Amino acid sequence: MRVAFLVAPEGVEQIEMTEPWEALTATGETPQLISTKQGRIQAFDHLDKADTFPVDQTVADASVDDFDALVLPGGVANPDFLRTDPKAVAFARAFFDAGKPVAAICHASWTMIEADVVRGRRMTSWPSLQTDLRNAGADWVDEPVVVDEGANTLVTSRKPGDLKHFTEAMLDAFGGSRS
C-alpha cells in the first residue's frame, strides 16, 4: 500500500507526521512525502524548528491513482499554507472523489475545508477549528479520534496527545482499503 503524506515545505508538526509514518512503515506500508516544492521540508515541534525531511514527490507531479490513502498531518502553518495552494487542495480532494481513506490530525482540517469535503462528515480537530468545521457543514465533536464512514473513510483527531488513538484508527482504516 502506498500512502501519501501531504505537507507544506514548512510548518508540519513533526510528531504528527513521524508517528503515523513509523506506524505505517512498521506494518510494511510505503509512505511517500508529497509537498508543494522539491527538496526538503522543515518540520516543527510546536513553534520551534525540528528536523528536515526529503520530499519524495511534488504535488504537481503526484497522482491520486498512485496512492491508496492520504495522511494530512497538522501544525498551524502547514495546513494554512496548503489550503492556499490550488494543486495541494485538488490533490487532497481527489482522495475523497476516489473514495480512498484519509486521516487528518489537529489543524489539517483546514485543507479539507478548502477542498469542500467536510459537509455532512462527523469530525474532530484542534478545538480552535470547530467553528470553521461547523461553518463548512461538518458535525464537530470533541473526542480523541473520530472515524466517519461516509463515501470514504475519514479518520480525524485533535492533537499530538491523541496520536495513539489516531494511529490505531488510521491503521484500521487503511487496512480495510487493501486489495
Q: What amino acid positions are annotated as catalytic residues? A: 107
**Residue 175 grid cell:** 487496512
Cell numbers found for residue 23: 506506524
- As a residue count, the chain comes to 179
57 beta partners? 34
Contact indicator for 48, 76 with CB cutoff of 8 Å: no
Q: How many C-alpha atoms does 9 have within 13 Å on its Cβ side?
A: 8
